[in-house]
Amino acid sequence: MATVEITEAAPNDLEAVAQLFDAYRVFYRQSSDVAAARTFIRERFARRDSVIFLGRVGGEPAGFVQLYPSLSSVSMRPIWILNDLFVAPAARGAGVGRRLMDRAREFASASGALRIELTTERTNTTAQGLYHACGYARDDVFYKYILTVDTRA
């Protein structure tokens, strides 16, 4: 079995992350647009408003996880929003998703964060199984509300 390597993505990883990010969006029923994905990821690197970890199998890009910073007012501590996790179909089953989740946890802990939060579609049972295996618990205390303010979304 090939070695899984996880590194923090940097601007020189732009093309690899953009390709994976585009595939992630397609998974969520969006049209492929690698140029827009590249622009979006380039902006994340430039603004430093997210942290991206890139997984490679045998040196080839295989998946990524993207975290956005937030705060918990009640606890007065940072939290991280795990907004994006994707593993390329050819790399599934190799442990990439688990390793990316573990690296996200290590990063959040080292940053002094209280927790990591994530959401997923109810039908994404594969991801839900991974999240449970990594120690995540489904929140049955709070409701999630969404207000769409941009009608183009």
Would 105 be classed as within a structural domain? yes
Count: domains in the chain: 1
Domain that holds residue 114: 4-133
Would 140 be classed as within a structural domain? no
Would 145 be classed as within a structural domain? no
pTM of the entire structure?
0.94
Structure confidence by residue, pLDDT tens digits, 94-109? 999 999 999 999 999 9
Would 153 be classed as within a structural domain? no
Instruction: Tell me how far apart the alpha carbons of residues 31 and 114 are, in angstroms, rounded to a whole number.
Output: 35
Q: What is the dihedral of CA 99, 103, 109, 114, to 10 degrees?
A: -70
Tell me what percent of the residues of the chain surpass a pLDDT of 70.
99
Structure confidence by residue, pLDDT tens digits, 56-74? 999 999 999 999 999 999 9
pLDDT at 147 over 90: no
Would 37 be classed as within a structural domain? yes
What CATH number corresponds to the domain at position 58? 3.40.630.30
Count each helix (H run) and each strand (E run) in the chain, helices first. 4, 5
pLDDT band for position 146 (50/70/90)?
Answer: confident
Would 33 be classed as within a structural domain? yes
Would 150 be classed as within a structural domain? no
